[in-house]
Structure 1
Amino acid sequence: MTSVSQLMPDRRIRQLELTITRRLDGLLRGEYAGLLPGAGSELAGSREYRPGEDEVRRMDWAVTARTDMPHIRETVAEHELSTHVLVDATPSMDFGTVELEKRELAVAAVAAIGFLTAGAGNRLGAGILTSEGVRRYPARAGRVHLIGLLRKLLALPRAQEGQQVPLADAIRGLHRALRRRALVVIVSDFLDESDWAREMRRLGTRHQVIAIEVTDPREMELPDVGLLTVVDPETGRKREIATGSRALRERYAAAAAEQRLAVQQGLRSAGAAHVALSTGRDWVADIVRHVHAQRRLALGGRR
């Protein structure tokens, strides 16, 4: 796939748009044009609850009481979609050892969301979590608005080391700001140590939430390259590591796997749809696989 990191901002955006529309547009467009088919919020009746397939929070208690059988609410997709993205642009996102940095992959994910939810009446809002705080952009419709958001993301300066705004605080602020039901997409590496899972769980009680996890292969394992100087992007602390040590590389891989498992468990506990993207993989193919899986679940609950 053509690298976007070597192009000027406007050409990067155009390349992303072409990639998305050519490879994803036919697959993902439909009555509800999003990254996954949303449950919607317009009531369309009730049906019997299917254990293991249906979410308890969709339970229709009134019908359940009348029939003495558990029922859930069935809904249809909204004709107009309001999407809000929260993009992590803190120092840990300024890392990449393959084709892209994690922040560039985050921009690609936002582009996919924006281009694929574009449509009559659909609006896109954004919050960008930086070292100084959250920059908010109100939800608006149209391609011009989307292109403007992507330009702002590409033009962001490198994040500054030091005190960071917790991801949990950013999610809490977004929850307070949203007045109507929306599709909320959080793009991050989720390396933040705050209790972001609890805030995402609260967010999910009112909104449909997608978590896009962005990683890099070197976060999972160290190469054998001799003495390596590494820098903590959040604090600026430096340390020299002897990567020739097999025992050290194994400890690193075990710790990294434990950390990613904790992230996955946090996202699962929050009830968010999880999309895992890596700078070392075809991110378009990863999105396609995720959508296929979600649509299989949506069609009759078949796994």
Structure 2
Amino acid sequence: MNEGGFAPELVPERRLRRLELMITRRLDGLLHGSYLGLLPGIGSEPAGSKEYRPGEDEVRRMDWAVTARTTVPHVRTVDADRELATHVLVDASASMDFGTADLEKRELALAAVAAVGFLTLGNGNRLGAHLLSGDAVRRYPARGGRPSLLALLRAMMLTPRNQHPVSLGAGIEALHRQTPRTGLVVVVSDFLDGLDEDGLGPGAPEWEEPLRRLAARHQVLAVQVGDPREQELPDVGLLTLVDPETGRRREVPTASKKLRAKYAAAAAQQQATIAAAVKRAGAAHLPLRTDRDWVADIVRHVHARRRLSRAAAKPQRTPS
């Protein structure tokens, strides 16, 4: 079996065990339950201040007292909480029931949640979830320990397919209302919901503003799951495409080079729209694809965030 797959013919308990072993074997010792390892954050305990760096530091963390005393802009620094409440928001809409490589997008979403869960276990950390399923948001209160995590993953695994849930924006709003305490929030979705009809218009996605409000209170990681066939069409002759959200069918002559190029350009623009919206909202962005090594992509993301965190923490020399 490809290491990226979860052997769907196995019963849920064995599939979850295989997924757990895959994650712990490849990432053991990398994060070790460390919140700062997964997504360097602001924490909550005051630890001092440092010189403000445009583009790296948040203006809302400005330390005005030190700024006035030194005449140089400074921001407050804080130590991370030793115990962390992590909440995941998982998209279970029909568009997630798609995959042409090693995994379906919904399986990749499960893998992402499992990675977050197993890497934040211990030290009193707790994991809760909001699952966009059916016509309501299914909420799982934040709890600690491996049994609670496995129960959550099992519930995700058994979620019925072809759901038409509440919008992603509404789900983010619900999570924001119900998680008043600062923590880590991971939003797992393809982020296709709420775009303009063609995904190319100038308007912001409807989930951008709710995500911005969420990121103003929490450290937010946007995990975007995708499939290669969403980026380019193969040359396979006449292809019947079905929109999983609406059920609409369309015959596409994929032998046309012009059509394939137009599709790839539109898909690239759509992805750029999503990435720009996530950045404007102030969330970290982690793209994962069904045809890539998702564990390696998570590792690269962690290392990149750690480098940025260390660079920001280095004391700056002040001119004499």
TM over 0.5: yes
* More off after superposition, 194-203 vs 206-215: 194-203
Q: Which residue of 2 aligns with 1:182?
A: 183
Matched, 1:51 2:62: no
Amino acid at match of 1:43: P
Q: Which residue of 2 aligns with 1:118?
A: 121
* More off after superposition, 37-46 vs 84-93: 37-46
Q: Which residue of 1 aligns with 2:242?
A: 231
Q: Which residue of 1 aligns with 2:64?
A: 61
Q: Which residue of 1 aligns with 2:24?
A: 21
Aligned-residue offset at 1:16? 1.2
Q: Which residue of 1 aligns with 2:6?
A: 4
Amino acid at match of 1:58: R
Amino acid at match of 1:221: E
Q: Is the 8 A contact 2:44 2:81 kept in 1?
A: yes
Matched, 1:140 2:147: no
1:125/1:265 CA distance change after superposition, 3 Å:
same
1:144/1:33 CA distance change after superposition, 3 Å:
farther
1:5/1:34 CA distance change after superposition, 3 Å:
farther
**Mapping for residues 71-90 of structure 1, pairs under 5 Å:** 71-90=74-93
Secondary structure at the aligned position of 2:311 is classed as coil
CA distance in 2, matches of 1:25, 1:198: 36
Secondary structure at the aligned position of 1:199 is classed as helix
Aligned partner (choices 18, 38, 41) of residue 41 of structure 2: 38
Aligned partner (choices 129, 134, 140) of residue 132 of structure 2: 129
Can you give the 5+ residue segments of structure 2 that lack an aligned partner in the other structure? 195-204, 314-320
CA distance in 1, matches of 2:35, 2:225: 25
CA distance in 2, matches of 1:81, 1:282: 27
CA distance in 2, matches of 1:12, 1:212: 22
Post-superposition Cα deviations, 1:103-152, rounded to whole Å, max 9, x if no partner, equal: 00000000000000001311100000123221111111111100000000
Post-superposition Cα deviations, 1:246-266, rounded to whole Å, max 9, x if no partner, equal: 111111111111100100001
Matched, 1:97 2:100: yes
CA distance in 2, matches of 1:102, 1:9: 17
CA distance in 2, matches of 1:202, 1:29: 30
Query: How many residue pairs are counted as aligned between the two chains?
Result: 301
| Percentage of identical aligned residues | 64
Matched, 1:166 2:177: no
CA distance in 1, matches of 2:142, 2:86: 8
CA distance in 2, matches of 1:157, 1:31: 33
* More off after superposition, 137-146 vs 189-198: 189-198
Q: Normalising by structure 1, what TM-score?
A: 0.95
Amino acid at match of 1:232: D
Aligned-residue offset at 1:301? 2.9
Amino acid at match of 1:280: D
CA distance in 1, matches of 2:64, 2:18: 49
Aligned-residue offset at 1:22? 1.1
**Mapping for residues 192-207 of structure 1, pairs under 5 Å:** 192-193=193-194, 194-207=205-218
Aligned-residue offset at 1:62? 2.9
Aligned-residue offset at 1:31? 4.9
CA distance in 1, matches of 2:77, 2:96: 39
Amino acid at match of 2:141: P
Secondary structure at the aligned position of 2:312 is classed as coil
Aligned-residue offset at 1:30? 6.1
Aligned-residue offset at 1:287? 0.3
Aligned partner (choices 256, 259, 263) of residue 274 of structure 2: 263
CA distance in 2, matches of 1:150, 1:202: 27
Q: Is the 8 A contact 1:60 1:73 kept in 2?
A: yes
* More off after superposition, 67-76 vs 228-237: 67-76
CA distance in 2, matches of 1:288, 1:224: 34
Secondary structure at the aligned position of 1:168 is classed as helix
Aligned-residue offset at 1:172? 0.7
CA distance in 2, matches of 1:5, 1:241: 32
Instruction: Find runs of 4+ consecutive structure 1 residues off by over 3 angstroms.
Output: 30-34
Aligned-residue offset at 1:35? 2.0
Q: Is the 8 A contact 2:237 2:253 kept in 1?
A: yes
Q: Which residue of 2 aligns with 1:212?
A: 223
